Structure 1
Amino acid sequence: MGDVQRTDYAGDGISEADIAATPWQQARRWVDEAVDRSQAGSDVPEPLALSVATVDGAGRPNVRTVLMRFFDDRGPGFVTGTESTKGLEIAATGGIAAALTWPAMFRAIRFRGVAEQLSREEVAGYFGSRPWASRISAWASRQSQPIEGRAGLEEAYARYAAQFPDHGSPEDVPVPDFWGGYRVLCDEVEFWGGRRNRLHDRLVFSRVAQGSLDDPSAWALSRRQP
């Protein structure tokens, strides 16, 4: 192994004095700042890239990156094929963890809890907002299923493109029955702020009662060692 590249994280971290009153308010603040930075430059190229971890029946984890397409005080949400590996594992265990990570900002947010399937109304509303080509690709791809070569995928895309031609309307392409999404119903939300000498800040909101991410009475704040 060659020389190891080391970077000292020169972030401002996050303190108990500065953190917002609820995990929703703090997460919204950091997400908005990441999106603003993305629009101003190139060092945060995908501010809504969400790493999602699930567990299979043998207890082995799977992690992949999706885009956070829903975000309110109920929790972060994403869309996917419900018959994909992640969909099947969610159906079997319900457990889920997710993370937003912005290396250039020395920040990350970790969400842990259980997955709730999005309503059909939420899914249809988002699906209709997608570009026509992305709606066609949702039909063409049976996520996580094996396929021999790319040609089969391209052929499926062409077949559905012919079946659902683009007339410029959200109704041009119906929502596939096997396509939906999930929201993370959080029991824990951690805010990580990188600091020099690896003395990072980790402030964690843990659920202590029922309530949304924006209900102060539902959460207790603590600090964890880095």
Structure 2
Amino acid sequence: MNDEVDLPSMRVGYGAADPTGKDGVAANLDPSWLVGDPPWRSLFDAWLADAIAAGVVEPNAMIVGTVDADGRPATRTVLCKGVSDAGIVFFTGYDSDKGRAIAAHPYASATFPWIAMERQIHVRGRVVKVDPAETQAYWNSRPRGSQLSATTSDQSRPIASRDALEAAAAAVSDEFGGPLSSTTVPVPEQWGGYRIEPDVVEFWQGRADRLHNRARAIRDGDSWRVERLQP
């Protein structure tokens, strides 16, 4: 570690001197805020809308954690591309590192780290592939360049150089008539969507002196229970 970087002293003063907090919340996060069926959905939507309105860069970015066949965890940032009562959706290569981990252990976590707003949301649950029609609909909405890049990439596999990657991308682009062509780029066979079906959804609100607020909804059979957690 660089001796000039004093990591232990790095602290963010959540809540500042204002008891309402810098995020403008006039009350402490409370389990009573988690209402409805499922009880996490309305507050999730409200906090996501707040992050968008505040201009948070990529407010739909989330840190997804998986465990591979050897029991080794890994995390990476991906973009949430759908939220419904059924869960949280993202898209990736089925044969990528995360895809192979999900095949071995079909459970994952996702954290939305809106630290600048003194908020986080954490989701855990079983992972299932979305319906092919849902994958196709999202694929159709992607920019052509993103479609070509996904078709080019053998995701998570080694490649010799950046030049080799760009040459492969150029070859794929030429195959489909170039970046301005109207030729349809089909969904790659090993690419599509996953849905995290939540068993646990936790909301975190930063407060002064690290006395943070945590409230979570836990699936209990066909129903949910809501509770406050100590920080």
TM-score between both structures, scaled by the size of structure 1: 0.90
Distance (Å, rounded) in 1 between the aligned partners of 2:197 and 2:73: 19
In the alignment, does 2:39 pair up with 1:14? no
Aligned to 2:69: 57
Q: Give, in angstroms, the shift of residue 167 of structure 1.
A: 5.3
Tell me which stretches of 4 or more aligned residues in structure 1 moved more than 6 Å.
none
Q: Which amino acid aligns with 2:230?
A: Q
Q: Which amino acid aligns with 1:23?
A: W
Higher-Rg structure is 2
Aligned to 2:148: 136
Q: Structure 2 unaligned segments of length 5 or more: list them.
A: 16-20
Please, what is the CA RMSD of the aligned residues?
1.5
Distance (Å, rounded) in 1 between the aligned partners of 2:181 and 2:130: 26
Aligned to 2:94: 82
Q: Give, in angstroms, the shift of residue 8 of structure 1.
A: 1.1
Distance (Å, rounded) in 2 between the aligned partners of 1:36 and 1:164: 38
Q: Which whole-Å deviations, capped at 9, do the CAs of 1:82-128 have from their partners, x for residues lacking one?
A: 10010011011111111111011010110001101011100111001
Q: State the secondary structure of the residue aligned to 1:71.
A: strand
Aligned to 1:222: 227
Q: State the secondary structure of the residue aligned to 1:137.
A: helix
Q: Give, in angstroms, the shift of residue 17 of structure 1.
A: 4.0
Distance (Å, rounded) in 2 between the aligned partners of 1:176 and 1:208: 37
Q: Which whole-Å deviations, capped at 9, do the CAs of 1:44-95 have from their partners, x for residues lacking one?
A: 1110001100001221101000000111111111000110010011011111
In the alignment, does 2:196 pair up with 1:184? yes
Q: Which amino acid aligns with 2:149?
A: S
Q: Is the 8 A contact 2:34 2:226 kept in 1?
A: no
Q: Superposition pairs for residues 100-139 of structure 1, below 5 Å?
A: 100-139=112-151
Q: Superposition pairs for residues 90-101 of structure 1, below 5 Å?
A: 90-101=102-113
Q: Structure 1 unaligned segments of length 5 or more: list them.
A: 39-43, 211-217
**Selected match of 2:159 from 138, 147, 152:** 147
Q: Which amino acid aligns with 1:6?
A: R
Distance (Å, rounded) in 1 between the aligned partners of 2:117 and 2:84: 22
Q: Give, in angstroms, the shift of residue 20 of structure 1.
A: 3.6
Q: Is the 8 A contact 2:29 2:213 kept in 1?
A: yes
Aligned to 2:18: none
Q: State the secondary structure of the residue aligned to 2:66.
A: strand
Q: Which whole-Å deviations, capped at 9, do the CAs of 1:114-150 have from their partners, x for residues lacking one?
A: 1010111001110011111000000111111011111
Q: State the secondary structure of the residue aligned to 1:202.
A: strand
Aligned to 1:209: 221
Q: State the secondary structure of the residue aligned to 1:172.
A: coil
Q: Give, in angstroms, the shift of residue 223 of structure 1.
A: 1.0
Q: Give, in angstroms, the shift of residue 160 of structure 1.
A: 0.8
Q: Give, in angstroms, the shift of residue 219 of structure 1.
A: 0.9
Q: Give, in angstroms, the shift of residue 168 of structure 1.
A: 6.2
Q: Superposition pairs for residues 23-62 of structure 1, below 5 Å?
A: 23-38=40-55, 44-62=56-74
Q: State the secondary structure of the residue aligned to 2:69.
A: coil
Distance (Å, rounded) in 1 between the aligned partners of 2:191 and 2:173: 17
